[in-house]
Amino acid sequence: MKTAIVVLSDPKNGEEALGRVFNALAAAYDFKSREEEVSLLFQGTGTRWAALLTAPDHPAHGLYKAVEDKVAGVSCGCADVFGARSDAERSGFSLIHTNAVPGTTGLASLAKYVAEGYTVLTF
């Protein structure tokens, strides 16, 4: 079993967004604990999480650190659009640009994950 977990929630949306990212991280942890292939990526306004989750005082930091090795990165074009690119780079996140969407620096390709047999979950 292979699973790609996509975080789309905007950290600016308060508790509900925190609940979504927390559950995405928990799902990644669950798959990792079962030694199943899992990849976590941040797309859309979810790219804004990069700077927050790496902060030691963030409530989800411990869980993030437990799955950090499963983070594929942030969608490059999304990070550009939503002003998160420099924070993502500074926080050590890879920029994903496998989907060459015209007029962007490229986004993460969900079609690539599906073609490789991944189930895609969104949070």
Tokens of 77: 């074009």
What domains appear along the chain, each with residue ranges and CATH number?
Answer: 2-122 (3.40.1260)
Burial state string for 59-79 with b = 16 or more CB within 10 A and e = fewer than 16:
ebeebbeebeebbbbbbbbbb
What value does the CA radius of gyration of the chain take, rounded to a whole number of Å?
13
Tokens of 26: 């928990």
CA angle 116, 8, 69 (to 5 degrees): 60
| pLDDT value at residue 2 | 98
Q: Identity (one letter) of the amino acid at 30?
A: D
Of 70, 13, 9, 67, nearest to 42 (Cα)?
9
| pLDDT value at residue 88 | 96
| pLDDT value at residue 66 | 98
Task: pLDDT tens for the chain, 123 residues: list them.
Answer: 999 999 999 999 999 999 999 999 999 999 999 999 999 999 999 999 998 999 999 999 999 999 999 999 999 999 999 999 999 999 999 999 999 999 999 999 999 999 999 999 999
